[in-house]
């Protein structure tokens, strides 16, 4: 599912889940084993765990709890809480929009993001194998920095400039790491070197959050990507 929607088209996790399972069924019909690769927790949960995004029920008890917390610690605290749980959502919700902040926290709670992984029920219609890839932090950061350099040499600035010229910068898809920083460069917020530095820094920070998030899931088998025969070990577990 690369390049399946335009930057100005909304694409929710429910849309992703529906398309993904449609593809899974088509691949299984051809006796092909699907392999999902990625690192955004909610989207992986949408495939692996029994989560229904078609509707999110009103959770009055949780909402009352959040309102009480807001009254005690203030709205800025609630916004920071939202940002720690769903940074993308925090980018499109104003820090003073109390109703939307609390509603998004309510949705996160009901989708299972705010609960321990062992609370979530794994789907039983497929046999899942979940593998986590990691390495020493210094090596990981070197890989990330090198990846950014490669993306830039392959024309990332020109790609972002074309998207910015056509779609502007308001759409959520253009606030992703690598797009936002370069768009800010074209806006004159900072120079090219600073944009590159920020892309690398924000990518490293995101990777750190990913590791923290997935380390909580005891069902993931972890492998060091620099370990000899790492890929063979993973493939041996996939039938």
Fold observed for domain 131-239? Helix Hairpins (1.10.287)
**Rounded Cα gap, residues 163 and 157, in angstroms:** 10
Average pLDDT over residues 126-133: 90
Q: Say how many C-beta atoms besides its own lie within 10 A of residue 204's C-beta.
A: 16
**Rounded Cα gap, residues 212 and 203, in angstroms:** 14
pLDDT tens, residue by residue, 71-93: 999 999 999 988 888 777 787 78
**Rounded Cα gap, residues 12 and 86, in angstroms:** 14
The domain ranges of the chain are 60-111, 131-239
**Rounded Cα gap, residues 8 and 99, in angstroms:** 25
pLDDT tens, residue by residue, 140-190: 999 999 999 999 999 999 999 999 999 999 888 898 899 999 999 999 999
Report pTM: 0.73
Residue 223 main-chain phi, psi, to 5 deg: -135, 145
pLDDT score, position 185: 98
């Amino acid at each position: 599912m690369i390049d399946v929607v335009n930057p100005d088209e909304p694409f929710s996790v429910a849309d992703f889940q529906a398309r993904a399972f449609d593809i899974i069924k088509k691949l299984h019909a051809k006796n092909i084993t699907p392999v999902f690769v990625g690192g955004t927790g909610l989207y992986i949960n949408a495939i692996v765990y029994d989560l229904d995004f078609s509707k999110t029920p009103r959770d009055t008890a949780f909402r009352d709890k959040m309102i009480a917390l807001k009254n005690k610690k203030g709205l800025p605290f609630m916004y920071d809480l939202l940002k720690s749980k769903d940074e993308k959502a925090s980018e499109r919700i104003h820090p003073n929009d109390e109703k939307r902040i609390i509603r998004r926290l309510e949705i996160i709670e009901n989708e299972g993001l705010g609960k321990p992984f062992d609370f979530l029920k794994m789907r039983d219609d497929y046999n899942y194998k979940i593998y986590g890839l990691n390495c020493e932090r210094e090596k990981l950061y070197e890989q990330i920095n090198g990846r950014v350099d490669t993306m830039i040499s392959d024309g990332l600035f020109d790609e972002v400039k074309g998207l910015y010229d056509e779609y502007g910068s308001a759409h959520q898809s253009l606030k992703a790491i690598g797009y936002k920083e370069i768009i800010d460069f074209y806006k004159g917020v900072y120079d090219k070197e600073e944009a590159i530095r920020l892309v690398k820094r924000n990518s490293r920070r995101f990777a750190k959050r990913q590791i923290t998030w997935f380390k909580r899931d005891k069902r993931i088998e972890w492998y060091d990507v620099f370990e000899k025969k790492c890929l063979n070990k993973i493939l041996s577990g996939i039938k």
